[in-house]
Amino acid sequence: MNSRGSKEPRESCEMVNSGLKKSWSSVVVIFRIPYYTEWGQSLLICGSEPVLGSGNVKLGLSLIPIHQGEELIWHGKISVPIGFKCQYCYYLVDDRRNILRWEGGKKRELSIPEAIKEGKVVEIHDLWQTASETLFLKSAFQNVIFAGGQCLKPQSPFESYQKKEVGEDSIDVLFKISCPTIEDGTSVYVTGNVFQLGQWRVEDGLRLSYIGQSVWEASSVIRKIDFPIKYPFLLVYSYLNPTYKYYQKCKETGASMEIGPYREVALDMTTNTVPSYIYLSDGSFRATPWRGSGVAIPMFSVKTNDGLGVGEFLDLKLLVDWAVDSGFHLVQLLPINDTSVHGMWWDSYPYSSLSVFALHPLYLRIQALSENIPEDVKQEILMEKERLDGTDLDYEATMATKLGIAKKIFNLEKNEILNCSAFIAFLCDNEEWLKPYAAFCFLRDFFGTSDHSQWGCFAQYSKDKLEKIISNDSLHYDVICFHYYIQFHLHLQLSEAAAYASRKRVVLKGDLPIGVDGNSVDTWVYPNLFRMNTSTGAPPDYFDKNGQNWGFPTYNWEEMSKDNYAWWRARLTQMAKYFSAYRIDHILGFFRIWELPDHAATGLVGKFRPSIALSKEELEKEGIWDFDRLTRPYIRQNMLQDKFGSSWAIIASIFLNEYAKEFYEFKEDCNTEKKIIVKLGMSSEKSLWVNSESEIRRSLFDLLQNIVLIRDVEEQRKFYPRFNLEDTSSYQDLDDHSKYVLKRLYYDYYFHRQEDLWRQNALKTLPVLLSSSDMLACGEDLGLIPSCVHPVMKELGLIGLRIQRMPSEPGVEFGIPSQYNYETVCAPSCHDSSTLRAWWEEDGERRLRFFNDVLGSNEEPPPHCTPEIVHFVIQQHLQSPSMWAIFPLQDLLALKEEYTSRPAKEETINDPTNPRHYWRYRLHVPLESLLRDEDFKTTIRDLVIGSGRSYPSSEAEQQLENIGEKISTIQLNGASLV
């Protein structure tokens, strides 16, 4: 209930917006929507026309609450001219009209037909539209999984109003329902307890017409005395399509009625304003929640007989074929953008983009560049394929080989390619990013570094300089064109694979990295969008107890907001050319990012940005005043002796100064982590050390990180509590009062203080991303999760991630898939973790707990993860309520003993604890072999089908089902549905 209560005079509901002059040809529109609010909250409507605020929520139409049965109905009235059209949306606001929540999806459309007579009353019955309801309007479903519905031809809405006469004793009722999962050959009906709706007989029910955007509607004139009306919607099939196996279906008739209680519309008898028209906007067809499944594998890990040392975009066609045969609707990849920053194996890290728009040349199929490849080049390709066909990816050799051969083919046909219409169109469509990318690659190779600060006069980007670099009069124009040429063919090959996946009803899911490399095209062209003196990472979590430092500059969100995040919108638009779903890497970064100084090498001593710091005044009021003691490394002689043993005096003489008796501080040339690394590497006293260099580095880092508060470099009177400050000896040596205060402030900073700030931050940025494309968005919400994250994700229709070994519930060691929320992706592992097999072997005690608690066995678990155990875990995930169950291909291979010959540790994609990890895992089984393994595919397909998840049938199976189960228009012979 809102703060005004329901006793407000009804006359206020009759008021007309003073900004609208009443016309002689006006009609009255009444809005009604059921919604429960809390004290101080109310609903309003904001629309595109002045009568509804012209898009300004502060000027929108306030709604008044009334109780009707068990529902709280919010309603409001306006007068509009006949033929009135507008878009509108409902908002939940506080007493000052500040937005607390808004509807998901696209704006609602209101159109008053010209045939409605002056003075008539039109009543709009809406239901609050959540973001999760609009998920099935995304391209993953509309353009891929349920693409058959595209054959439907929209009819003009409101045609019925042009022909009907509505008497004083009747009401013309418009029934409208969204059916986003419908396919060709299906009709939508409404039946109910009145004659006009067939009195529960489907064959006499009201058939709805398709009006576009997955919406169906029809109207019927119903007598007032027949109200209230009870009714359900039904889908009626001309044949039984296996895609609809998740509906409650009557197989004898080919009809499926929506689940849940019957819908009802009643007249408001407490007012004299009885409508002549009622528009029922009934949301979505209520069906058993659709659930799908998929497979995840990095592009570089794919192996086929045609690939040259690495997975290639055209290999996706084979992967899609295998996915379809195995019953999967989705193939998920890691980022595929160019990462050629260093020109060495470090570039195998797929999350450090050289360009967020350019595709990686690594995934180019050389053989597809031309139909006229010379015989000697063909032989070279065959030789290189054999040489590079190793167990793991040889990143440097593969890149050098591909670019070398591609350059030969380019030189042979460059004139033909560069002048063809397709290439010219590609260059024109992509010049905003493609030309700077080509120029950057040229300058990188010319200067021998991607560090654009070392490029002399070209260190600062400008369009004038760009035009000189890419000018067709320059001596290096062929080099520039070669980069165009590579991107053109990468585009063609990925587009071909994406179109193939779509035809097969398989969703291609991409990955949106949270950061870009500091030495990238994007930081060169748009330096104002980045905080170049900082680095991003993650605080200590499941992946790394010392935190992570990714090395990316943090974003300057304030600057990005000035053009409504155009850079982000362009990224999503580009991505949507190939993908119909995507994973948002580290979605927590859109709420707040873990920011580190650029001199940090690890991820421990950082702060959240944005965050509300502890002020000097706030700390002083709490009796905290010795800021020098709390912010500088706390180093005592006994600590040095404990860490370095007999070598402590030597280490101290190299790295430290004794500024007081038995108190030490770091020397100027080694008072940061990066300085320590440099000095360690140059030290000539290594032979005198008892410990290894890596052990000494770790111990020195521990000393440097032994602080309680972090002083803000930009604002010296602000402080941040160090993560896990209670673990430090600096904290342990404080007096009890200081410990109590700092512990309380620590928990407030990390778990309470920032929640509203972070919520507002995400609500500024994430909606822009989500509205930039029709792709289905999934957020990687792992790690230290603020309490505001999951409510915001639900509000925006973002699907979360659930990894069983990293439960989001506190105090739980293993996630319980049967208890996951619907709007989630569940998986037993991911690319940042060990595989299921490797995890099983890592920890015997944990393995026993999992075997006992999750598998329900009191016996001793086997030392290796057997196919039977893998079968149980995969089945458990498939049977979960999660919308998607997506499995790393390595975990699926563990279903068959034959595919587990490789050591489990070698199947891991990434080691988050190692910033220099080589991303090089390749399948040891070519996709062609998996496609021929009918038993393996049958095992997986049976698991998918047995779980009740939707699956794509092959074309042959589809034809057989259509022939065998085809039926005529339904005939229920008067059978009752009640």
49 SS3 class = coil
Of the candidates 381, 335, 342, 336, the residue with the CA atom closest to the CA atom of residue 360: 336
pLDDT of residue 150: 54
Question: Tokens in use for 699?
Answer: 């111990």
Query: Which stretch of DSSP H or E encloses residue 570?
Result: helix 566-575
Instruction: Name the residue among 338, 476, 471 with its Cα closest to residue 403.
Output: 338
Q: How far is CA 295 from the centre of its chain?
A: 16
DSSP state of 954: P
Listed residue (487, 500, 511, 497) closest to 298, CA to CA: 511
pLDDT in the model for residue 541: 79
| Gyration radius of the chain over CA positions | 32
* Chain segment 43-73, per-residue pLDDT in tens: 999 999 999 999 999 999 999 999 888 889 9
CA neighbor of 727 nearest in space, from 611, 634, 816, 648: 634
Least Cα distance to 777 among 785, 786, 765 occurs for 765
293-513 CATH fold:
TIM Barrel (3.20.20)
For residue 228, is the peptide bond before it cis, meaning its omega torsion is within 30 degrees of 0?
yes
Q: Is 1 helix (H, G, I), strand (E, B) or coil?
A: coil
* CATH code of the region 23-129: 2.60.40.10
Q: Which tens digits make up the pLDDT trace of 82-126? A: 999 999 999 999 999 999 999 988 899 999 988 888 889 999 999
Give the residue ranges of the chain where pLDDT is below 50.
1-23, 158-162, 240-252, 955-978
Q: What is the structure's pLDDT at 24?
A: 53
Helices (H), 843-965: 844-853, 867-878, 889-893, 927-932, 934-946, 955-965
928: buried, middle or exposed (CB in 10 Å: 19+, 13-18, 0-12)? middle
pLDDT of residue 954: 53
Computed from CA positions of residues 732, 737, 738, 744, in that sequence, does the dihedral angle turn out positive or negative?
positive
Which residue spans within 503-574 are E strands per DSSP?
507-512, 530-531, 534-538, 548-549, 554-555
Q: How confident is the model at residue 959, as a pLDDT?
A: 36
Confirm or reject CATH 2.60.40.10 for domain 149-285, answering yes or no.
yes
| Distance, CA of 472 to CA of 475 (rounded, Å) | 8
Handedness of CA 447, 449, 452, 454 (dihedral sign): negative
Look up residue 691 and give its DSSP letter: S
d(CA 830, CA 834): 7
Residues 475 and 457: their CA atoms lie apart, in Å, by 19
Element (H, E) at 379: helix 375-388
CA 776 to chain centre: 7
In the chain, what are the domain boundaries? 23-129, 149-285, 293-513, 781-932
Closest CA to 318 of 332, 304, 334, 299: 304
pLDDT at 51: 95
- Find tokens 């009714």 and name the residue: 231
**In the chain, count of helices (H) and strands (E)?**
28, 39
- Predicted confidence at residue 544, as pLDDT, reads 79
Convert 288-315 into a string of H (helix), E (strand) and C (coil): CCCCEEEEECCHHHCCCCCCCCCCCHHH
Output the CA angle 514-518-522, nearest 5 degrees: 75
pLDDT of residue 810: 82
Helix (H) or strand (E) holding 435: helix 421-447
Only one residue has tokens 């009235």, namely 77
Q: Residue 209 corresponds to which amino acid?
A: S
What's the pLDDT score for residue 577?
98
Q: Is 23-129's fold the same as 293-513's?
A: no
